[in-house]
Amino acid sequence: MLTYLGRRLLLTLPALFGVALVAFLLMRAIPGDVVTNLVGQAEVTPERLAELRRMFGLDLPVHVQFGQWLGAALQGDLGSSLRTGRSITGDLALRFPVTLELTLLSLVIALALALPLGIAAALNRGRWPDYAASVFALLGLSVPGFFLGILLILLFSLRLGWLPPAGYVPFTEDPWQNLRHMLLPALSLGLILAAATTRIVRSALLEVLGRDYVRTAKAKGAAPATVVLRHALRNALIPVVTVVGLQFGALLGGAVIIEQVFSLPGVGRFALEGINLRDYPVVQGAVLLIAAAFIVVNLIVDLVYALVDPRVRYG
């Protein structure tokens, strides 16, 4: 196990380097830079523009800029925002818990819906619970997350007045208000993830229910709940864990639209603002953090396989 962990951790280094390089080059491929965004429509002489670019270090060759940024990043310094001068490491430390909380709540909602719906659909194949779960999955996969978020705001905020439409309250300040503000965005992401996971649970469980050891357990007189939960579901969880792990990592980086709709100060919204303002260090730091989190999540998923299925061994 330790050998496997060491090998996986070593493989993260070239992956993170590749992500950092691609983010760096793509940002500089976008027309304009932070200087042109700062001056806007004002009349500025070319000499003044060149002076501003020197101040931000944008006059250096691209490979020199990347080398300087990468060297500082390896020491834990992601630089400072070109517009605000604030430490990017500090800003990400404040914003990442928001995105992580949103992702975790979405995952809890998704599993709370997908597991019972998928199990009910598999046990009632060809009957109305199966059709109802299929309709739920189809609708969830067809509706974009931002559109679902707007519908939830119209219903629960503007029509019923139960939940706030936007904003954020830190959990440490007021846990109840924090939950009220996070529930709608978490539902917007969680319902879509639940739709995809329901289909995976159903298909994986149907495959396992037809195997010999499940029929043997039934023949021995095991209770139906024991057969499903102990024998069938546990062996059907590996594809579910894979999908959930991939979706969890995707949610960390893909929650940007939901964070924008609900005005959440998360990493995705932070990166989007950096892209719009051509604030290169902000985007590079946010992308690197999301990539690192995605890699860690996938490593955890691989380790969970051994807990779900004792036959899995790592060399």
User: For residue 167, how many other CB atoms are within 10 A of its CB?
Assistant: 12
Cα 263 to the chain's mean position, in Å?
Answer: 17
Task: Please tell me the total count of domains within the chain.
Answer: 1
Q: Is 315 within the bounds of a domain?
A: no
Cβ atoms 92, 78 nearer than 8 A: yes
Q: Is 190 within the bounds of a domain?
A: yes
Rounded mean pLDDT of 152-159?
Answer: 90
Q: Is 12 within the bounds of a domain?
A: no
pTM check: above 0.75: yes
Q: Tell me: the pLDDT tens digits for 187-228?
A: 988 888 888 888 888 888 888 777 766 667 667 666 666 667
User: Residues 28-64, buried b or exposed e (16+ Cβ, 10 A)?
Assistant: eeeeebbbeebeeeeeeeeeeeeebbeebebeeeeee
The pLDDT of residue 41 is: 59
Q: Is 182 within the bounds of a domain?
A: yes
Q: Is 4 within the bounds of a domain?
A: no
Q: Is 143 within the bounds of a domain?
A: yes
The pLDDT of residue 1 is: 61
pLDDT category of residue 239 using cuts at 50, 70 and 90: confident
Q: Is 40 within the bounds of a domain?
A: no
DSSP collapsed to 3 states, the chain: CHHHHHHHHHHHHHHHHHHHHHHHHHHHHCCCCHHHHHHCCCCCCHHHHHHHHHHHCCCCCHHHHHHHHHHHHHCCCCCECCCCCCEHHHHHHHHHHHHHHHHHHHHHHHHHHHHHHHHHHHHCCCCHHHHHHHHHHHHHHHCCHHHHHHHHHHHHHHHCCCCCCCCCCCCCCCHHHHHHHHHHHHHHHHHHHHHHHHHHHHHHHHHHHCCHHHHHHHHCCCCHHHHHHHHHHHHHHHHHHHHHHHHHHHHHHHCHHHHHHCCCCCHHHHHHHHHHHCCHHHHHHHHHHHHHHHHHHHHHHHHHHHHHCCCCCCC
Q: Determine the structural domain holding residue 297 and report its residue range.
A: 88-308
Q: Tell me: the pLDDT tens digits for 20-43?
A: 888 888 888 887 777 777 766 566
Q: What is the CATH number of the domain that holds 233?
A: 1.10.3720.10
Q: Is 242 within the bounds of a domain?
A: yes
Cβ atoms 278, 30 nearer than 8 A: yes
Of residues 43 and 127, more confidence is placed in 127
Q: Tell me: the pLDDT tens digits for 259-304?
A: 888 888 888 888 888 888 888 888 888 888 888 888 888 777 777 7
